Structure 1
Protein backbone atom coordinates (compact mmCIF):
# COMPACT_ATOMS: atom_id res chain seq x y z
CA UNK A 1 0.00 0.00 0.00
CA UNK A 2 2.84 2.37 0.89
CA UNK A 3 4.49 1.61 -2.41
CA UNK A 4 1.34 2.37 -4.40
CA UNK A 5 1.03 5.71 -2.65
CA UNK A 6 4.62 6.60 -3.48
CA UNK A 7 4.05 5.70 -7.14
CA UNK A 8 1.04 8.03 -7.36
CA UNK A 9 2.73 10.95 -5.56
CA UNK A 10 4.73 12.24 -8.58
CA UNK A 11 1.59 12.25 -10.73
CA UNK A 12 -0.29 14.25 -8.10
CA UNK A 13 2.55 16.75 -7.80
CA UNK A 14 2.62 17.26 -11.57
CA UNK A 15 -1.15 17.70 -11.67
CA UNK A 16 -0.90 20.39 -9.00
CA UNK A 17 1.50 22.36 -11.21
CA UNK A 18 -0.84 22.37 -14.21
CA UNK A 19 -2.76 25.25 -15.75
CA UNK A 20 -4.04 27.41 -12.91
CA UNK A 21 -4.26 30.32 -15.33
CA UNK A 22 -3.66 32.81 -12.49
CA UNK A 23 0.12 32.76 -12.77
CA UNK A 24 1.66 35.02 -15.38
CA UNK A 25 4.57 33.56 -17.34
CA UNK A 26 7.99 34.95 -16.51
CA UNK A 27 9.35 37.42 -19.06
CA UNK A 28 12.17 36.06 -21.17
CA UNK A 29 15.61 37.07 -19.95
CA UNK A 30 18.01 38.67 -22.35
CA UNK A 31 20.56 36.05 -23.32
CA UNK A 32 24.10 37.45 -23.51
CA UNK A 33 25.72 36.96 -26.89
CA UNK A 34 29.17 35.39 -26.57
CA UNK A 35 31.92 37.61 -27.83
CA UNK A 36 35.05 36.10 -29.39
CA UNK A 37 37.97 35.99 -27.05
CA UNK A 38 37.63 33.22 -24.48
CA UNK A 39 40.49 32.81 -22.02
CA UNK A 40 42.90 32.90 -24.94
CA UNK A 41 41.86 36.53 -25.47
CA UNK A 42 43.66 37.47 -22.27
CA UNK A 43 46.90 36.04 -23.66
CA UNK A 44 46.88 38.78 -26.27
CA UNK A 45 46.79 41.47 -23.58
CA UNK A 46 48.64 40.23 -20.51
CA UNK A 47 52.34 41.09 -20.69
CA UNK A 48 51.82 43.77 -23.36
CA UNK A 49 53.13 47.33 -23.17
CA UNK A 50 50.97 50.44 -23.24
CA UNK A 51 51.92 51.06 -26.87
CA UNK A 52 50.81 47.56 -27.85
CA UNK A 53 47.44 48.09 -26.14
CA UNK A 54 46.92 51.39 -27.93
CA UNK A 55 47.69 49.59 -31.18
CA UNK A 56 45.04 46.96 -30.34
CA UNK A 57 42.25 49.14 -28.92
CA UNK A 58 42.98 52.73 -29.99
CA UNK A 59 43.46 55.69 -27.68
CA UNK A 60 42.47 55.01 -24.07
CA UNK A 61 39.66 56.97 -22.44
CA UNK A 62 41.91 57.34 -19.37
CA UNK A 63 45.66 57.13 -18.81
CA UNK A 64 46.56 57.32 -15.13
CA UNK A 65 50.13 57.17 -13.83
CA UNK A 66 51.19 56.66 -10.24
CA UNK A 67 54.92 56.38 -9.76
CA UNK A 68 56.11 53.64 -12.10
CA UNK A 69 52.61 52.10 -12.40
CA UNK A 70 50.10 52.94 -15.10
CA UNK A 71 46.41 52.27 -15.70
CA UNK A 72 44.98 52.44 -19.19
CA UNK A 73 41.21 52.39 -19.57
CA UNK A 74 39.53 51.43 -22.84
CA UNK A 75 35.81 51.38 -23.49
CA UNK A 76 33.03 51.09 -26.02
CA UNK A 77 29.25 50.58 -25.93
CA UNK A 78 29.73 47.04 -24.59
CA UNK A 79 32.28 47.31 -21.80
CA UNK A 80 35.10 49.12 -20.00
CA UNK A 81 38.51 47.47 -19.64
CA UNK A 82 41.09 48.64 -17.10
CA UNK A 83 44.61 47.43 -17.82
CA UNK A 84 47.15 47.79 -15.00
CA UNK A 85 50.76 48.01 -16.10
CA UNK A 86 53.73 47.56 -13.79
CA UNK A 87 57.43 47.47 -14.61
CA UNK A 88 59.36 44.22 -14.35
CA UNK A 89 62.82 45.14 -13.21
CA UNK A 90 63.99 48.17 -15.15
CA UNK A 91 61.92 47.37 -18.23
CA UNK A 92 58.90 49.17 -19.62
CA UNK A 93 55.66 48.59 -17.67
CA UNK A 94 53.55 45.69 -18.96
CA UNK A 95 49.99 44.55 -18.28
CA UNK A 96 49.91 42.39 -15.18
CA UNK A 97 46.22 42.67 -14.29
CA UNK A 98 42.93 43.38 -16.09
CA UNK A 99 39.54 44.40 -14.77
CA UNK A 100 36.37 44.62 -16.86
CA UNK A 101 32.76 45.68 -16.45
CA UNK A 102 29.78 46.48 -18.62
CA UNK A 103 29.08 50.15 -19.21
CA UNK A 104 26.35 50.05 -16.54
CA UNK A 105 28.83 48.65 -14.02
CA UNK A 106 27.59 45.06 -14.20
CA UNK A 107 30.22 42.33 -14.29
CA UNK A 108 31.49 40.96 -17.59
CA UNK A 109 34.11 38.36 -18.35
CA UNK A 110 37.48 40.02 -18.99
CA UNK A 111 38.19 37.96 -22.11
CA UNK A 112 34.76 38.84 -23.52
CA UNK A 113 35.50 42.52 -23.02
CA UNK A 114 38.88 42.17 -24.77
CA UNK A 115 37.03 40.49 -27.64
CA UNK A 116 34.38 43.22 -27.78
CA UNK A 117 37.01 45.95 -27.88
CA UNK A 118 38.90 44.11 -30.62
CA UNK A 119 35.76 43.66 -32.72
CA UNK A 120 34.83 47.32 -32.35
CA UNK A 121 38.34 48.50 -33.22
CA UNK A 122 39.41 46.06 -35.92
CA UNK A 123 36.24 44.37 -37.13
CA UNK A 124 37.75 41.06 -36.02
CA UNK A 125 35.23 38.26 -35.61
Structure 2
Protein backbone atom coordinates (compact mmCIF):
# COMPACT_ATOMS: atom_id res chain seq x y z
CA UNK A 1 0.00 0.00 0.00
CA UNK A 2 2.94 2.38 0.60
CA UNK A 3 3.91 2.34 -3.08
CA UNK A 4 0.35 3.10 -4.14
CA UNK A 5 0.15 5.97 -1.67
CA UNK A 6 3.47 7.39 -2.93
CA UNK A 7 2.22 7.11 -6.49
CA UNK A 8 -0.94 9.11 -5.82
CA UNK A 9 0.93 11.67 -3.70
CA UNK A 10 3.32 12.20 -6.61
CA UNK A 11 0.37 12.89 -8.92
CA UNK A 12 -1.28 15.29 -6.48
CA UNK A 13 0.66 18.39 -7.53
CA UNK A 14 0.10 20.58 -10.58
CA UNK A 15 3.82 21.03 -11.31
CA UNK A 16 4.41 17.28 -11.36
CA UNK A 17 1.44 16.77 -13.69
CA UNK A 18 2.87 19.46 -15.97
CA UNK A 19 6.24 17.68 -15.96
CA UNK A 20 4.58 14.39 -16.89
CA UNK A 21 2.78 16.15 -19.73
CA UNK A 22 6.13 17.38 -21.07
CA UNK A 23 7.51 13.83 -20.98
CA UNK A 24 4.65 12.24 -22.92
CA UNK A 25 6.44 12.57 -26.27
CA UNK A 26 9.82 11.36 -25.04
CA UNK A 27 12.95 12.28 -23.15
CA UNK A 28 13.42 15.88 -22.01
CA UNK A 29 16.45 17.57 -20.45
CA UNK A 30 15.94 19.07 -17.01
CA UNK A 31 17.09 22.43 -18.40
CA UNK A 32 14.16 22.41 -20.83
CA UNK A 33 11.74 21.48 -18.05
CA UNK A 34 13.09 24.40 -16.03
CA UNK A 35 12.73 26.79 -18.97
CA UNK A 36 9.21 25.75 -19.95
CA UNK A 37 7.82 25.74 -16.42
CA UNK A 38 9.86 28.69 -15.16
CA UNK A 39 11.31 26.70 -12.28
CA UNK A 40 14.66 27.05 -10.53
CA UNK A 41 16.87 23.97 -10.75
CA UNK A 42 16.31 22.98 -7.14
CA UNK A 43 12.52 23.01 -7.48
CA UNK A 44 12.57 21.07 -10.75
CA UNK A 45 14.93 18.49 -9.24
CA UNK A 46 12.75 18.07 -6.15
CA UNK A 47 9.63 17.41 -8.22
CA UNK A 48 11.50 15.06 -10.55
CA UNK A 49 12.88 13.12 -7.57
CA UNK A 50 9.34 12.63 -6.24
CA UNK A 51 8.18 11.38 -9.64
CA UNK A 52 11.20 9.08 -9.89
CA UNK A 53 10.71 7.66 -6.38
CA UNK A 54 7.07 6.95 -7.27
CA UNK A 55 8.21 4.96 -10.31
CA UNK A 56 6.72 7.35 -12.85
CA UNK A 57 9.91 8.66 -14.49
CA UNK A 58 13.48 7.55 -15.03
CA UNK A 59 16.61 9.57 -15.69
CA UNK A 60 19.78 9.42 -17.73
CA UNK A 61 22.87 11.53 -17.09
CA UNK A 62 24.65 13.33 -19.94
CA UNK A 63 27.54 15.36 -18.61
CA UNK A 64 26.14 18.13 -16.44
CA UNK A 65 22.50 17.52 -17.30
CA UNK A 66 19.95 14.86 -16.53
CA UNK A 67 17.40 13.77 -19.08
CA UNK A 68 14.05 12.41 -17.95
CA UNK A 69 11.50 10.14 -19.58
CA UNK A 70 8.40 8.27 -18.49
CA UNK A 71 9.26 5.02 -16.72
CA UNK A 72 9.12 2.07 -19.09
CA UNK A 73 9.04 -0.66 -16.46
CA UNK A 74 6.84 0.87 -13.80
CA UNK A 75 4.13 -0.91 -11.90
CA UNK A 76 0.98 -1.89 -13.79
CA UNK A 77 -0.94 0.79 -11.87
CA UNK A 78 1.64 3.47 -12.75
CA UNK A 79 1.50 2.43 -16.41
CA UNK A 80 -2.28 2.63 -16.46
CA UNK A 81 -2.29 6.03 -14.77
CA UNK A 82 0.32 7.37 -17.21
CA UNK A 83 -1.81 6.14 -20.09
CA UNK A 84 -4.89 7.95 -18.77
CA UNK A 85 -2.87 11.10 -18.08
CA UNK A 86 -1.38 10.92 -21.57
CA UNK A 87 -4.84 10.91 -23.07
CA UNK A 88 -5.95 13.92 -21.04
CA UNK A 89 -3.12 16.25 -19.95
CA UNK A 90 -2.19 17.56 -23.43
CA UNK A 91 -5.78 18.68 -23.93
CA UNK A 92 -5.82 20.95 -20.87
CA UNK A 93 -5.14 24.64 -21.42
CA UNK A 94 -1.92 24.59 -19.38
CA UNK A 95 -0.78 21.27 -20.87
CA UNK A 96 -1.23 22.53 -24.43
CA UNK A 97 0.68 25.76 -23.66
CA UNK A 98 3.50 23.82 -21.98
CA UNK A 99 3.79 21.44 -24.93
CA UNK A 100 3.99 24.39 -27.34
CA UNK A 101 6.73 26.02 -25.23
CA UNK A 102 8.61 22.71 -25.14
CA UNK A 103 8.41 22.36 -28.92
CA UNK A 104 9.95 25.83 -29.25
CA UNK A 105 12.67 25.01 -26.69
CA UNK A 106 13.51 21.75 -28.47
CA UNK A 107 13.99 23.61 -31.75
CA UNK A 108 16.60 25.81 -30.07
CA UNK A 109 18.31 22.74 -28.56
CA UNK A 110 20.34 24.65 -26.03
CA UNK A 111 20.67 24.18 -22.31
CA UNK A 112 21.79 27.07 -20.16
TM-score by length of 2: 0.31
Which structure's CA Rg is the greater one?
1
Structure whose residues are more often helix by fraction:
2
TM-score by length of 1: 0.29
Structure whose residues are more often strand by fraction:
1
- Higher RCO, 1 vs 2 (CA within 8 Å, ≥6 residues apart): 2
